[in-house]
Structure 1
Amino acid sequence: MSADAAIEVEPFSPDAPKESGAYFTPDPVARSLVRWAVRSEADRLLDPACGSGHFVALHFRSVGIEQNSRSAAEAIRRAPAALIHDGDFFTWAERTTERFECAAGNPPFIRYQTFKGEVRQRAQALCTALGADFSGLSSSWAPFLVATASLLKKGGRMAFVVPAEIGHAPYSAPLIEYLVGHFTRVHIVAVREKLFPELAEDCWLLHADGYGGKTAHIAFTALDRFTPCDTPPKATIRVPVTEWRGDWNRRLRPYLMPAAVRDLYQALAAGAGARRLSEVALVGIGYVTGANEFFHLRPSQAERWGIPDALLHPTVRNGRALPEARLTPGDVAAWRRGDEPSFLLKLSKGSELPASVKQYLATEEAREAKKAYKCRVRDPWYSVPDVRVPDFFLTYMSGRQVGLVRNEAGATCTNSVHAVQLKSKSALKDLLKLRESPLFQLSSELEGHPLGGGMLKLEPREAGRILLPDIAAVAAAPAHIVEGGIAALQTWRHYAD
């Protein structure tokens, strides 16, 4: 009997999202993953978040766990031969003495903001005991996989849908470390064409075999699209774990680029004089007002209230307000002519307030702004902290181009844009030259991470890792290789779609 047995699986419905944070897996994907995991009809299969039973219906000897009672009841109906437990997986995993030959499924992808409370505490405590320490920023799927692996018999296998974040998110690194330390083979299959077209989230596939062993390599395959198959596709790259850890900061995303690009980038990073942006500059987010509409005034508003110009600071509210290379006094003058709400009411703590400002702070709008959390917790509530005038602005969210814009206008910025303050003016010349090179864009692509809708996000820590090689080495780097790397990464984040 095959892993499918004779059970008919209901067609995939894209309009049926799991309440627990995942979407039902398309049948061709589910069938393939079960075939990757099951080797014998005698094998027992575990799905730690079985939903309405798409995976457990594909193999008679299956056990599923589902915290949503309605979905669990549907799983029982769909897969009558399976054993379905209604409850929290981590509680069940702590208590069970059962062990399985294999596991497959699509664990719930719940971000850290909502993966909290007792469930998170149980998950983290269990994973820590197993040797995988996840930070408080971990999403739910990674602890699910560690706990699932611990329930396998020696030699066991598992095959799962995973978010593409496994290729770049810092919280996925403890999972991969656990996998390479507990399986003889770890294979990650990157799929460019979306497995779930209705979701912004990209998904890849994970196959691990030989529980109880360990490996010094990660098998990696990059596919344009998924094709149903009975066995995992052939690995195109064997990534040394030491290389993944050291050269690429525990990220697999660089392996989406041709080898020539990776080799060139690493040669530049190892070259004499190479530095990272954090070595020459401080990179941080801009200020947070807590009530943007109140604190950002139009010139006509300021004139109506009689607020002095000295208390209004020109500000970059988002990346869309930035020109390509330089923000100049002329740009600020254009904001004034356009009556843009791009002037921050900057009131210093302890300063004497003019009567006009006191009147503005007594309005109904002010009373509403004062209720905002960021305003309530500071004293005085109307004094916005961390207002800095940086040397450069760096775009936080970018499309095709990451912008590094020189601040010649003496403007400040909100937390929608990064403020870059040079540690020494000696770095200015090299930084101005580097931003004109495609290598700056390549490094930004590599150090940042993709979001839905084709956007690239650079957190301050990631921005600090942007590579600043020796300028002569940058000039000598073959442009077609660098640009090929940029194109490859942008294709994978669907920017060119």
Structure 2
Amino acid sequence: MVPLSQKHSGAYFTPDPVVSALVRWAVNDPTDRMLDPSCGDGRFLASHRNSVGIEQDARSAANAMERAPWALVHEGDFFTWASETSERFECAAGNPPFIRYQTFKGPVRARALGLCRGLGAEFNGLASSWAPFLVATAGLLKPGGRMAFVVPAEIGHAPYASPLLEYLVANFAMVQVVAVRGKLFPDLSEDCWLLYANGHGGQTDRIRFTAVDRFEPSKAKHPPSEGEDVLVTEWRQIWGRRLRPFVLPASVRALYARAAAHPKSLRFGAAAQIGIGYVSGANDFFHLKPSMAKKLGIPAELLHPTVRNGRALPAKQLTKSTLQQWHADDEPYMLLKLPKAPVADLPAKVRRYLDSEAGREAREAYKCRVREPWFSVPDVHKPDYFLSYMSGVSANLVRNSGGATCTNSVHGVRVRDAKAMQRVAEHWMGDFVALSREIEGHPLGGGMLKLEPREATRILVAADELAPELGGDALADAVTTMQRWRHYV
């Protein structure tokens, strides 16, 4: 068997202090049978002599057998094994593979989701591998069983993580999530938290949430005791099944919740429609510099100014002067916008460009290959505003006074309520809206904040009646706290 790459297998081996802490909590007695559903090189198995591990990668499985010769190691797909085994365990611990949905596919994915569905957890098409791993593992525990796992910080905000947490609170007497700001894996851009669940077969109406700056190993047989109990109803109804807002002070969360419930507060989605821009399929071919367009003889009426990425956006307003500057700088800001027409109806010089070596290469790109005709870029609109898709210190909301369009690396905002949109624009740079962007968006590797269109529609403008409560430093400090948690410096 050819060994899987580290990225494909999701294998990032856990530091020994984290392994020891999780196993110490999960194992109550030396006779407890412990399961690691993705044992990698056997680090968790080596910490307890009564262990069973499953590992799909042959090389890692061999390493696990060498590291923990007393353990029983099965080489193969965990979900196949879990659906066939009759074994049950007192506890489980490990670091499930973090394989995103694009790679977690085919028969393995179908088997995983089917197994979870039978256990009562329904995952959507965007679920990464680690969440089904944990549900399937929980299904192999004996009554009263425990589990302790490293999990991606996405457990705090990703929609696909909510079926996991719903399953856990319905099947365990205690569920605790420990958010760790410092990186457990220094060489990995993905932040990782810790998950504890105890009392399999029970249920709970709360999630214990603990936020710590750094992981500090303890010899105690319990997770950190500090933190707060998050009622499941509050997690669902107020915070949209997200735990990430609970890194904020309770007073700030209470203010945000009041603003969200106030009838005169406003969500961005009530003011405008927000969506991604067009997908050209071959940016280098379809985005031309003025000098190249002139050289090729492309008619001006077939060229449209475009915002290629968020870095190109000015701070507040894109004007005709902005476009003139891009033109003077010979930036590739001109989109070749061709109609859905027979090739023969296009100007001769355009046909010559389409038949060039660059054109022949572009038409083989996936997005071009699957559309008809390949050279007509769909969904080209002139939005009223542009919104940064990813940002560092602040997402820009930029008025489109220049009549440009945009690629899918920028959001296009089309106004549907002018008065409401004016309110959004006026409050955009305030601390409350900045905090709302942090709460409704989610962190991305490298310290960036990402705003999907669905998340952007939830950005909140507080009612004017709450203005006296929005002063002071509390909101600005809260924004800084959220930025620190996504490692923006």
Superposition TM-score tier, normalisation by shorter sequence: over 0.9
1:287 aligns to 2:278 (yes or no): yes
Higher mean displacement: 434-443 or 324-333? 434-443
Q: Is residue 219–residue 235 contact of structure 1 (8 Å, CA) maintained in 2?
A: no
The separation in 1 between residues aligned to 2:315 and 2:31, in whole angstroms, is 63
Q: Deviations over 1:362-393 (max 9, x none)?
A: 22211111111211222222111111011110
Question: What's the Cα RMSD here?
Answer: 1.5
Matches within 5 A, 1:308-327: 308-327=299-318
The separation in 2 between residues aligned to 1:361 and 1:312, in whole angstroms, is 15
The separation in 2 between residues aligned to 1:211 and 1:478, in whole angstroms, is 46
Higher mean displacement: 266-275 or 158-167? 266-275
Higher mean displacement: 430-439 or 150-159? 430-439
Matches within 5 A, 1:32-47: 32-47=21-36
User: Which stretches in structure 1 are left out of the alignment for 5+ residues?
Assistant: 1-15
Aligned to 2:202: 213
Matches within 5 A, 1:93-492: 93-229=82-218, 230=220, 231-350=222-341, 352-474=345-467, 477-492=470-485
Higher mean displacement: 245-254 or 419-428? 419-428
Amino acid at match of 1:43: D
Q: Is residue 18–residue 51 contact of structure 1 (8 Å, CA) maintained in 2?
A: no
TM-score by length of 2: 0.96
Runs in 1 of length 4+ with deviation above 6 angstroms?
none
- Number of aligned positions between the proteins: 481
The separation in 2 between residues aligned to 1:148 and 1:379, in whole angstroms, is 46
The separation in 1 between residues aligned to 2:139 and 2:7, in whole angstroms, is 25
Q: Deviations over 1:410-450 (max 9, x none)?
A: 11000000001011222232122121312221111111111
Amino acid at match of 1:59: H
Q: Is residue 272–residue 421 contact of structure 2 (8 Å, CA) maintained in 1?
A: no
The offset of 1:468, in angstroms, is 2.7
**SS of structure 1 residue aligned to 2:10:** coil
Q: Deviations over 1:54-104 (max 9, x none)?
A: 001111111111112222222112112211111111111111111111110
The separation in 2 between residues aligned to 1:162 and 1:22, in whole angstroms, is 13
The offset of 1:18, in angstroms, is 8.0
**SS of structure 1 residue aligned to 2:131:** helix
Amino acid at match of 1:321: A
Higher mean displacement: 59-68 or 472-481? 472-481
Q: Deviations over 1:232-261 (max 9, x none)?
A: 111411100000001000000000111121
The separation in 2 between residues aligned to 1:239 and 1:317, in whole angstroms, is 42
The separation in 2 between residues aligned to 1:305 and 1:134, in whole angstroms, is 50
Specify whether residues 409 and 27 from structure 1 end up closer, same or farther in structure 2 by C-alpha distance, changes over 3 A only.
same
Q: Deviations over 1:461-493 (max 9, x none)?
A: 111111133345357512422111111110000
User: Which stretches in structure 2 are left out of the alignment for 5+ residues?
Assistant: none
**SS of structure 2 residue aligned to 1:441:** helix
The separation in 2 between residues aligned to 1:389 and 1:484, in whole angstroms, is 37
**SS of structure 2 residue aligned to 1:282:** strand
The separation in 2 between residues aligned to 1:440 and 1:33, in whole angstroms, is 39
**SS of structure 2 residue aligned to 1:160:** strand
Q: Is residue 209–residue 230 contact of structure 2 (8 Å, CA) maintained in 1?
A: yes
Amino acid at match of 2:20: R
**Aligned partner of 1:90 among 73, 76, 79:** 79
Amino acid at match of 1:56: L
The offset of 1:312, in angstroms, is 1.4
**SS of structure 2 residue aligned to 1:39:** coil
Matches within 5 A, 1:17-36: 20-36=9-25
Amino acid at match of 1:495: Y
The separation in 1 between residues aligned to 2:360 and 2:7, in whole angstroms, is 41
Aligned to 1:10: none
**Aligned partner of 1:62 among 22, 28, 51:** 51
The separation in 2 between residues aligned to 1:432 and 1:451, in whole angstroms, is 25
Amino acid at match of 1:133: E
Q: Deviations over 1:296-332 (max 9, x none)?
A: 1111111112222222111100000001111111111
Identity over aligned residues, as a percent?
A: 61
The separation in 2 between residues aligned to 1:245 and 1:223, in whole angstroms, is 23
Higher mean displacement: 61-70 or 464-473? 464-473
TM-score by length of 1: 0.94
Amino acid at match of 1:366: G
